[in-house]
Amino acid sequence: MLRGMHHVSIAVDDLEKARAFYGGVLGLAEIPRPVLPNPGRWFQAGGVPAPPDGPRGGGEGPPHP
């Protein structure tokens, strides 16, 4: 049984478009992000951080089922 999630990471191609969508359209609150090697933004969604991250390794993100 799933009782909760620590965080959800979402690979995106354009961080500013993702910021406009998650913050502006969905109304999620942007929260402070620690210094990490990859670019990204963090949003709060129902108590769970939902960080849209840029593609890793300079190319496409991993395939998702």
Return the pLDDT at 65.
44
Query: What domain range includes position 37?
Result: 10-55
Q: How far apart are CA 20 and CA 37, in angstroms?
A: 22
Alpha helices in the chain (DSSP H): 15-19
In a domain, 61, yes or no: no
pLDDT 10s digits, 2-52 = 787 777 888 888 999 999 998 999 998 898 988 888 888 888 877 776 666
Number of domains in the chain: 1
Type of residue numbered 34: P
Return the pLDDT at 45.
78
pTM reported for the whole predicted model: 0.63
In a domain, 2, yes or no: no
Return the pLDDT at 23.
92
